[in-house]
Structures are given as structure tokens and as C-alpha cells.
Structure 1
Amino acid sequence: MPGVLFVLNEQGEVIKWNAHSTDVFGLTDGEISRQPAEAFVHDDDKELIRESIANVFEEGHARVELKLYTAGDNTAIYDFIANKFQQHDQTYIVGSGVDVTKQKNLEKKCKLRCMKNTRSACKQKQVGTSLKRCLKKPPTPKCLLEGSEMRFVIANKAYREVVGQDNVIGKRVIEVNTRSPTTGIH
């Protein structure tokens, strides 16, 4: 199994584990045996592991992400699923955890990129709003064209009066400027 597999007793001590666990933690079987589960969990998640163990004993199951201390003084994020079971009048927890560190780091990068893009979009919207205000206020004709077809995005009142059309937004400049403002003839 590529993840860690474990069995905890009622005191929350590790009593069984898979061989991969020794590799993940960089510990021998003797160093893992009878250790409290929280000994392998990063200090930030100590309370969470205690609550999760209590929840499994009460509810019968739990799923939790925990940051673990791993071999070589590293840390990794593991997604754990645990269930309660009984054997010979004793209650135990059996569970497994899979390393999701790469996935979490990728999600964080994507979230930061999305936040950056959102901020950029907000800035563009603010600039666009400011630009619209600046172009609409002056008494002289002003407009803003966009794209290769040169479509109107903004046209202030003075500009619309010069071309003799109120509804120019979205139209191409060639459509608006081919009419005579006084006669409407092409």
C-alpha cells in the first residue's frame, strides 16, 4: 500500500502499521510501537488529531487532513480515513492515510493564480470605470474604440451629437461615421 496503514488502541497508541509507515516516518518498528498517534503529527495539528480520534471512537469514523513529521525532518500533508472496530471486547481504530502534499501545493498555486487574476480583473474594471468617467465628462467629443474592427466601447454625449447617433456602443466606427449627422445620407 502506498500510504500509511495503522491500528490504534483505545489509548490512541499505534499497535500495528504497514511497512511503508517506517519509510514515511524514517523510524524503526521499535520506534513506532506504542507511540501515541499524535507523536507523528505536526504541532499545528495536535489538537485536530486528538479531536479526530475521539470522533472515531464516538461516531465510528472520521476523515481528516493532517500535517505529519516525515523522514529527514520534513513534513507532508496526509488525507486520513479511519474507522472504529471491535475485537475480543476491545475497541480499536483502523485507518489509512495518503500523501496529498503535491496536490495541496498545486491547489495553493492555482488559488494564488486565481486570486492574482481576480485582482488583475478588478484593477482592469476599476481602470475601465475611471476611464469611462473621464471620457464622458468633457464637453469635447471623446470616444474609445476596441479591437481590430474598432467598435465603440465608450462615446460621450458630445461625440454622439457630432455623429448624430445616440446608440453607437458596440457598433464599428465605419458604421457610425459613414452617415452625415444632418441628413443621415451615406
Structure 2
Amino acid sequence: MSIWANERLVVFGAPTDLRAFSREAGPASGRIDTDRSRVFLPSMEHGEGGDLFSDRTERLTPDLSRKRYHWQSSTDDEGPMVKRVARRHPRLAFILIDSCVDVDLQGGGLYRARHAPERWDVPAEVREALMWRRYDEFGVLADQSGAKKAAALYESENQAFIDMMDLVEFHFTPAAMDWVRSRSR
């Protein structure tokens, strides 16, 4: 049985630089076919719970945009892939976020050209607090049984892991934005 992790790649850059990267990566939004992508690997295309896809590009300021890519993975191909891509696109900043309930992995890294990746994991006490908050919100702690309790447990954990991925993105966003701005001066 494979262990699947949810992955998110957040890319920051000047609009023209990010557009060039996006053309290499795949369509403007939606599902990505890795046969037509010069960024993503075939192992990233299909996951247990969904396929590789991208969100639309967001314009944060006139000179800064952000784009997110999502997939599920049962391999460790992501880090080396992002390092290669960061070298090819030295004016962009990349945040690679991974979340896997089976191995209690909730963290990510900031990748920039010619820099060692910076790693940050959601602290254990924060992970625990988020899980308990979502358990309470979804009624996991209530007196339920069977399928209803299993569904509430699944939804609460899924939302808590999305929360943790958002925290990692939030943690690295200022550094990523500063990196891009320093490259465009």
C-alpha cells in the first residue's frame, strides 16, 4: 500500500516571468497533462484522490503574481524537480508544501535559484491544536457511530491538513515576495 501525500507548489514572480513558467507547466488552470508539461513529472499526474491541476494566476500587486499547483504523490520526486526548475527560472520563488497524515508530515520548503532550500515544519503543538479544533467543528467528539463518525473524522482531518498547508504557505510568503522583488530591481 502506497503512502500518499498532498502536495502544493506555490510560485511567485513578476507577471511576465510567471507567465513564461506557466506556459512550460501546462494550461492556465485546470488539469495538467504531464506529456505536455516541461515542469511536472509523470509520477505527479495521477493521485489517489485527484489529478495534478493548477489554479488561475493571482495578481497580488502590479509587479507580483502568484500561482498554485496541486497534486498527490507517493514518491519523493518533488524536491529535486523544484530545485531544477528554480535554476531554470532564477527570478521566481517556489514554495513546495507537503502534507501526509500517515507519516505526520506537515511542512514545506522555500526554493530559490542558487540557494539551499529552507525547510519549515508546522510545530507539533500547532498541528495538535488544529486537529482538535477541526474535530470539534465537525462533531468528531460528539456521540456518533459508524459511517457518520467516519465521515466526520475524514472531513475534519482533511480540513486540518489543508489548514496546515496554508500555514506553511503563509510562513514562506514574505520571503518569497521579497526574493522576487529583489530580482526585479
TM range (shorter): under 0.3
Q: TM-score, normalised by structure 1?
A: 0.26
Q: Which has the larger Rg?
A: 1
TM-score, normalised to structure 2's length?
0.26
